[in-house]
Amino acid sequence: MCGIVGIYGYGPVNQSLYDAMTVLQHRGQDAAGIITEQQGKFYLRKSNGLVRDVFRTRHMQRLIGHKGIGHVRYPTAGTSSSSESQPFYVNSPYGIVLAHNGNLTNADALAPSLFKSDLRHINTTSDSEVLLNALAHELQKRGKLEPTPDDIFAAVTGVHERCKGAYVAVAMISGHGMVAFRDPHGIRPAVFGQRTLADGRVEYMVASESVALDAIGFELIDDIQPGEAIYVDNEGSLHRYQCVPARELSPCIFEYVYFARPDSIIDGISVYKARLRMGEVLARKIQRTWADHDIDVVIPIPDTSRTSALELANELGVKFREGFIKNRYIGRTFIMPGQQQRRKSVKQKLNPISLEFKGKNVLLVDDSIVRGTTCEQIIEMARDAGANRVYFASAAPPIRHPNVYGIDMPAVSELIAAGRTETEVETAIGADRLIYQDLEDLIQATQTSKADVRRFECSVFNGNYVTGDVDTDYLQRLENRRNDKTRQNKDPVDDSGLIDLHNDY
């Protein structure tokens, strides 16, 4: 999962891009990059690390220009190296840079085709570079020195015809403008907004989540619709076009469960309100299946589950307490590369307040259970802090299937609920009782009559992949390539960050 941002402005955009990426840091902590344009030249800085660590004053001073795009990354496809941090650049035609969130399910087949048919060289293992070269080739086919908006949209249509999977992208075409587009199913989120200056000129911004627009004073216009592209030309005019017929809008439900910030609105749905409702319906399940419960206190696993846990406690009429203090300088353990690093970080990340546990029957609430690493250790911490009994509730259903659309859940063998009953998971994590959300309840909690979403991408829970091109062989290849054991056995990669385009400052 990654975060993208693009700004077309009338003043320097480097600081605004930095601020927006900081707001989107929760979407990726592996690498960060910004590229700006001035007078047809690109200026790039990207490297491994958090936004605050990648960019220093000397970098910001060299990121000149009134247009730019940014990216925060965590690794799914590709490796955790600075050579695969984004944005990516290709010099022909025009000079194009691109930042991407999602995963192309046909990247392995498309990359050789781009080389053999289109004579385009792919230099990394990243599917984002494949997407960039597909866009570049489609623009090249137009054969125009001065592409029109229709040419841009025709190129994006060609990309949709060639690329499968989940993707949103924002790109800059040197000397021409900024384009952003979303896959025909709308799996990954993307919004755009505007800011009107005192002189009446309008600046435009694209981002993964609406909270990034809020943070730097842009007004939300709309979500980019499935199969739609928006283009801001070099005159500052905004163009919208439905490049391919939209399939049924199917946003990833895990965005609402875990990834997105609660103050974001995705496809017309408030993430905060969705999480409130998740806690409410989970409480109703407890009342329905465990009416004589002896829960003394509800404690959230910070931070994502706090909203759901609070509403669950209110619905049950049980005390809500903050039992864990979070070290905010440790990254999100779920999106850390490698099981060993995730396991090591849990106890560095959380510390229990013993008085909230001692002698009590505690219900711990988390947003989901993926590998089981975090919850197993947290349950042990609760017992060590003096809890009498430790129950565990997940605001999401059991995760039993890999994700192929940009979330790092590639290996069935790493998912604790895969091949296990809920009782077996309960035993594996050491809980006295485990309560999972039902999928039907999760969908009900996330839906709202004010939004047009009637279907969600729920493959990690039910194994139904909405793009229709994922089979057993594909899943096995993905697991072989991206499980933790394979990553640990890879040769070391040079992470010096020495790349072209004025990046080595």
Based on the fold, state whether residues 184 and 276 are members of the same structural domain: no
Angle CA 195–237–140, to nearest 5: 125
Q: Give how many domains the chain has, as a whole number.
A: 2
**pLDDT single digits (tens) 28-68:** 999 999 999 999 999 999 999 999 999 999 999 999 999 99
Q: Give residue-wise pLDDT tens across range 462-473.
A: 999 999 999 999
162 lies in the same domain as 224: yes
Do the strands 228-233 and 389-394 form a parallel or antiparallel pair, or are they unpaired? unpaired
Percentage of residues in the chain with pLDDT exceeding 90?
Answer: 80
Report cis status (omega within 30 of 0) of the bond before 303.
yes
d(CA 92, CA 96): 7
Under 8 Å between Cβ of 336 and 272: no
Residues 240, 277 within the same domain: no
Q: Are 279 and 308 in contact (CB under 8 A)?
A: yes
Is the CA virtual torsion 75, 80, 84, 85 positive or negative? positive
258 domain-assigned:
no
312 is a domain residue:
yes
Three-class secondary structure of residue 132 per DSSP = helix
How many degrees, rounded to 5, is the angle at CA 454 between CA 448 and CA 459? 115
Q: Are residues 241 and 278 in the same domain?
A: no
Q: Give pLDDT, residue 498.
A: 30
Q: How confident is the prediction for the chain on average, in pLDDT?
A: 91
Q: Are residues 155 and 278 in the same domain?
A: no
Identify whether residues 178 and 282 lie together within a single domain: no
Domain end residue (candidates: 190, 215, 247): 247
The two three-digit tokens of residue 103, written as one number: 């995963």
Residue 500 is assigned to a structural domain of this protein: no
Options 2, 163, 252, 375, the catalytic residue: 2
DSSP code for 142: H
Instruction: Report the CATH number that the domain containing residue 304 is assigned in CATH.
Output: 3.40.50.2020
| pLDDT of 487 | 52
pLDDT digits (tens, 9 = 90+) for 350-388: 999 999 999 999 999 999 999 998 899 999 999 999 999
For residues 240 and 275, state if they share a domain.
no
Whether residue 140 is contained in a domain is answered as yes
Q: What is the pLDDT of residues 205-245, one digit of tens each?
A: 999 999 999 999 999 999 999 999 999 999 999 999 999 98
Q: What pLDDT band is residue 82 in, cutting at 50, 70 and 90?
A: low
Model pLDDT, residue 485: 58
Q: Is residue 163 part of a domain?
A: yes
- For residue 279, give the 3-state DSSP assignment: helix
Residue 503 pLDDT exceeds 60: no
Q: For residue 175, is it within any domain?
A: yes
Pair (242, 277) in one structural domain: no
156, 85: one domain: yes
Residue 145: phi and psi, rounded to 5, are: -70, -35
pLDDT tens string 108-123? 999 999 999 989 999 9
CATH number of domain containing 227? 3.60.20.10
Q: Which of 410, 429, 452 is the last residue of a domain?
A: 452
- With tokens 């899943």, the residue in question is 475
Q: What is the pLDDT of residue 346?
A: 75
Q: What is the DSSP string of 299-364?
A: EE-TTTTHHHHHHHHHHHT-EE---EEE-TTS--GGGSSSHHHHHHHHHHHEEE-GGGTTT-EEEE
**pLDDT of res. 411:** 85
* pLDDT value at residue 348: 80
If asked whether residues 210 and 94 sit together in one domain, one would say: yes
Whether residue 372 is contained in a domain is answered as yes
Tokens of 503: 């990046």
Where is the binding site for Mg(2+), in residues?
304, 366-367
Answer yes or no: do 439 and 306 share one domain: yes
Q: What is the pLDDT of residue 9?
A: 97
Domain, as residue range, for 150: 3-247
**Rounded-to-10 torsion of CA 390, 394, 395, 397:** -150
Residue ranges at the known binding site = 304, 366-367
Number of neighbouring beta carbons within 10 Å of residue 10: 14
DSSP state of 417: T
CA atoms of 460 and 474, how far apart (whole Å): 15
Q: Give the predicted TM-score (pTM) of the model.
A: 0.90
Domain membership flag for residue 461: no
- Per residue in 255-305, pLDDT (tens digit) is 999 999 999 999 999 999 999 999 999 999 999 999 999 999 999 999 899
Question: What are the pLDDT digits (tens) for 202-213?
Answer: 999 999 999 999
Q: Is the pLDDT of residue 397 over 60?
A: yes
Q: Among 426, 452, 478, identify where a domain stops.
A: 452
> pLDDT confidence of 483, banded at 50, 70, 90?
low
2 as an active site residue: the answer is yes
Q: Tell me, yes or no, whether 302 and 447 share the same domain.
A: yes
